[in-house]
Every structure is written in structure tokens, then in C-alpha cells.
Amino acid sequence: MAVFLAALMVASSLTAPASALPACPQIFGHGGYPTGANPWERDQVRQPNNPTAIRQYKAWGASGVEADLQLTKDGIKAVMWHNTSTWGLTGTKKNITDIWWATGDTALKGRTIDRGPFKGETVHTFREWLAAMQTSGMVGLVEIKPETRQSLLSSDASIRSRAWAEVLDPVKERYRSQEIILYSHDSALAAELRKQVSAAGLTQVLSGGPVWPEVTKWEEPPPSWTLNENAWKAALQSGAKRVATDYTPQFSAWLKGKCQ
């Protein structure tokens, strides 16, 4: 009996730490973007704005990604791209808001990424991106970029209406079957977004986003992930359910043994 009790105590001591571990947060992958002067010149186009990147982030351990919505001239097409201009793409450099999606000699459609890990991928429409996200079973956190003010806040009602339809119609088509979260860092856009989604009965797409604990300023080549370790610990200890990171594979590996 004494031997049995001793063995039971040892077994309990081995399982106790695991039972005390916090729940693992869902990881939201984000492509790091350089800071400082002329950051686009160093940008390696790591953003998960295309199906190849989505699949890569999922393989690294992400449950969702943060991606970037832009609008072409006069709100004609919602597309997934992060830079103000076509820098990082083949073809003549132009601001996204100055070109059409599929017409003209500077059209955006068909251009491909010319650098970085996803070189060769094309620019995708918002609808195409949402379809790829659903296929991969990923949660989509979509930043409506400040440049979209040209159309979404246009003084021309027809442009404004068309632009918001480009943003919200794809969401209306899919929000019941996949989780989509919309936001903007631009205060005027954020306010209008709240107004538009409320009118459309889509207020749920404004909630559920991750925390962003990292303290590094991204650069190319990337700074060491270890600079964020204390911030990651704090997020885990606080019970964060979703955490966004520029270091998806490193964060996924770091979590092992620290949560369940």
C-alpha cells in the first residue's frame, strides 16, 4: 500500500503542472513592416494578403491573420494590399487610389509581387481573399487602410456608395459561415465603419480582434523575437484569448509547454 501511495503521489506531481497551465491563445499572424524613413523600400511584402501567404501562416500555427484592404480608383474594386502604392509589385509605380483594377495600361489586376517570401503571387480581390481564408479555415482580421478615405469618405455619393458596397457586400455574403473582423486605425474611417455596419446589421464584425503585445519595431532583416518574450509572457498570464504577432512561427514554438 505504501508503495502504491508513493507511486500515486509521483504521478500526481507530474500531471499537476499541466493542469495548471493557462489556455493557449489563438495566434493571428501579421506581416512585419519596416519603420522609419522610406519603409516601403525595405518592405519584403510579408503580409498575408494572398492565398500562398495564408497557407504559410496556417502552417506556422496561426488560427487567423491580419490583412489589408485597399480600394482602387473611385472605389471600383476592394483589393488586398498594404502599401499606398504599387511598390513591391511588377509594373509602373502608381498609387493604388490612382489606378483602375482591370482597365488602363497601369491596371492593378495581373501585377505580381516582385520580392520577399511570396514573390510571384498576384494581388487578390477582397472576395477572392475571403474565399481563400474560408478554404484554410482561418479567421480574417481586415484593416481598412487610410488610403481608402478617397472613396469611402468621398463627397460624391455614388463613389461613396459603390466603395462601401465593395467592402461590405463580400462580408454580407460570408459572415454567417466564416468569422470576419473589420477595423481601421483611421478615426474618421472607424466612425463611418461603425455607422455602415450598424445600418447593415453586421455589428458582430467589429469585435473579436486580438491583443497586440509586441514591443519590437520591425525592420529588415527582422529584429530578434526574444525582444518580445516578456510581452508574450504578460499576454499569456493575462488570459489573452487571441494574440497578434509579427513572429508567427517563433511565437507558436514558444507557446509549447506554456499553455494547453
pLDDT tens digits, residue range 30-61? Answer: 999 999 999 999 999 999 999 999 999 999 99
Model pLDDT, residue 14: 36
Torsion from C-alpha of 84, 89, 94, 96, nearest 10 degrees: -50
> Which CATH number is 145's domain given?
3.20.20.190
Is residue 210 a contact partner of residue 141, using CB atoms and an 8 Å limit? yes
> Could you say which residues of the chain have pLDDT below 50?
1-16
C-alpha 119/C-alpha 39 separation (Å) is 18
What residues does 67 pair with on adjacent strands? Answer: 142
Are residue 68 and residue 49 in the same domain, yes or no? yes
Does residue 240 fall inside a structural domain?
yes
Q: Give the cell for residue 241.
A: 484569448
pTM of the model: 0.92
Instruction: Provide the domain count of the chain.
Output: 2
Mean pLDDT, the chain, integer? 94
CA dihedral over 105, 128, 140, 233, signed as positive or negative:
negative
Are residue 175 and residue 222 in the same domain, yes or no? no
Helices (H), 83-228: 126-136, 149-152, 157-174, 187-199
Does residue 27 fall inside a structural domain?
no
Are residue 146 and residue 64 in the same domain, yes or no? yes
Is residue 124 exposed (0-12), middle (13-18) or buried (19+ Cβ within 10 Å)? Answer: buried
Are residue 103 and residue 197 in the same domain, yes or no? yes
Model pLDDT, residue 18: 58
Provide the domain limits for residue 42.
35-209
Model pLDDT, residue 13: 37
Are residue 81 and residue 147 in the same domain, yes or no? yes
Domain boundary among 166, 187, 209: 209
Domain boundary among 191, 209, 227: 209
Does residue 162 fall inside a structural domain?
yes
Does residue 4 fall inside a structural domain?
no
Rg (CA), the chain: 21
pLDDT tens per residue, range 105-144: 999 999 999 999 999 999 999 999 999 999 999 999 999 9
Does residue 125 fall inside a structural domain?
yes
